[in-house]
Amino acid sequence: MLPDEVPASAVARRGWPGSTVALVVTVLPEGTWSPGLVNSYFHGERVAYLVLTVLVGMVAVLGALTMDDSRTADEHHEEQSA
């Protein structure tokens, strides 16, 4: 194996985003991947992480905006007559 080539098994062990990218691609090449293919693969992972980060950030901001600063509960207690 040449020093600038990476075996496909090393790339496939990367985890979730790689698995997602693998689902999008119909057939992944067997054997040793060229440096260009490895770079393209990891670029796809970076894009997947970026999209996921933006979505999580949007949910966090939406949650923060819907919070209020109330220190009392909205429970209404009826006074008991003694």
CA dihedral 15, 20, 26, 32 (to 10 degrees): -30
Domain-embedded: residue 1: no
3-state secondary structure of 6: strand
Which carries the bigger pLDDT value, residue 1 or residue 20? 20
**pLDDT value at residue 5:** 55
Give the range of the structural domain holding residue 33, as residue numbers without chain letter.
6-63
* Residue-wise pLDDT tens digits, 40-57: 889 989 999 999 999 999
- Asked if residue 46 is part of any domain, the answer here is yes
Q: Is the pLDDT at 29 greater than 90, yes or no?
A: no
Residue 24 belongs to a domain: yes
| Cβ neighbours around 33 below 10 Å, total | 20
Q: How many domains does the chain fold into?
A: 1
| Residue 12, in any domain of the structure | yes
DSSP string over 20-55: HHHHHSS-PPPSEEPHHHHHHHHHHHHHHHHHHHHH
The answer to whether residue 42 is domain-embedded is yes
Task: For residue 15, tell me if it sits in a domain.
Answer: yes
Query: Could you tell me if residue 68 is inside a domain?
Result: no
Q: pLDDT at position 1, please?
A: 46
Q: How many CB atoms lie within 10 A of CB 41?
A: 21
